[in-house]
Amino acid sequence: MPALSSEHKLPPIVEVMGLPVRSLLVDELIELVVTRARNGQRTRIGYCNAHTTNLALDDEQLNADLAAMDILYADGAAIVWASQLGEHTLPERMTAAGFFNSFIERAAAAQLKFFLIGGEAGIAETAAISMQAVDSGVRIVGTQHGFFDESDAACVVETINDVNPDVVLVGLSTPRQERWVQQNADQLHAPVLWCVGALFDYFAGREQRGPSWLCDHGGEWLYRLWEDPAGKWKRYLLGNPLFVGRAAKWGWERRRHKHESNNNVTNAPGGDA
């Protein structure tokens, strides 16, 4: 295993609906990941958005896997909005499909090596070619499709370790990717394990992003719903209102708890009259 370093400490956590989300800007996340990979600091990275949070609230294992990430970042505008209902507000949303070109360029300059795992057969390879088109200096040392049996997990880990990457990008979809990272973190030699969801599909041209004006204002889900209504209607038309209701309840309960705590302090012996 790579030697651990005490450099580049993690940023503070903002609790959002029970999940420990790191307070980060996109540029800070990019620099943090590159530096920790270069220094050999063991780092598990995940993301949360309205969909993954809904799943986590109904799935104790997923909730635990997300909470155990060293870096959990706000993938959607919904998480930033929900943070405003708590004590601290997250600075911005960070969607990998939107910032990953910048990360590739920074990682190429740092000479980091990548392994891509996930997607249907051929998707990771196509995504790797597209990433190399962003910056020819990016070093992708291997790929693996995501349709492997769990009985083959040890062989997959061995394949990854044999090529010694600095960063393993894991696109196995939620909750499988989070579980896979947590189960195999101790066996994998790569310092950085990063859950990336459908990122490979974007680089392979299987999925398209919405126009920047829509994405920048939290409306990318509308474009994705329009592009794939049959596949996305439950996630957005049912999931988004469910998330809003859960976030509102969480915010109200936090405010009530804070109000009751303040009253208890005021009414305690020696408290203010």
Can you tell me the mean pLDDT for 138-155? 93
What is the sign of the dihedral through the CA atoms of 198, 203, 209 and 212? positive
CA atoms of 122 and 145, how far apart (whole Å): 7
CA atoms of 239 and 251, how far apart (whole Å): 18
272 pLDDT exceeds 80? no
In which band, very low, low, confident or very high, does the pLDDT at 151 lie, cut at 50, 70 and 90?
confident
Give the pLDDT confidence score for residue 223 in this predicted structure.
Answer: 74
pLDDT digits (tens, 9 = 90+) for 9-57: 899 999 999 999 999 999 999 999 999 999 999 999 999 999 999 999 9
pLDDT digits (tens, 9 = 90+) for 166-208: 999 999 999 999 999 999 999 999 999 999 999 999 999 988 7
Give the pLDDT confidence score for residue 6 in this predicted structure.
Answer: 41
Q: Tokens 């960070």 label which residue? A: 94
More confident residue, 146 or 272: 146
pLDDT digits (tens, 9 = 90+) for 71-126: 999 998 999 999 999 999 999 999 999 999 999 999 999 999 999 999 999 999 99
Domain boundaries, the chain: 13-250
The burial of 213, by beta-carbon neighbours within 10 Å (0-12 exposed, 13-18 middle, 19 or more buried), is given as exposed
Query: Does domain 13-250 sit in CATH 3.40.470.10?
Result: no
| Nearest in space to 16 (alpha carbons), one of 75, 91, 79, 95 | 79
Give the pLDDT confidence score for residue 270 in this predicted structure.
Answer: 59
CA dihedral of residues 58, 64, 69, 71 (deg, nearest 10): 50
CA atoms of 211 and 209, how far apart (whole Å): 7
Q: Report the predicted TM-score, pTM, of the whole model to 2 decimal places.
A: 0.89
Give the pLDDT confidence score for residue 2 in this predicted structure.
Answer: 37
In which band, very low, low, confident or very high, does the pLDDT at 8 lie, cut at 50, 70 and 90?
low
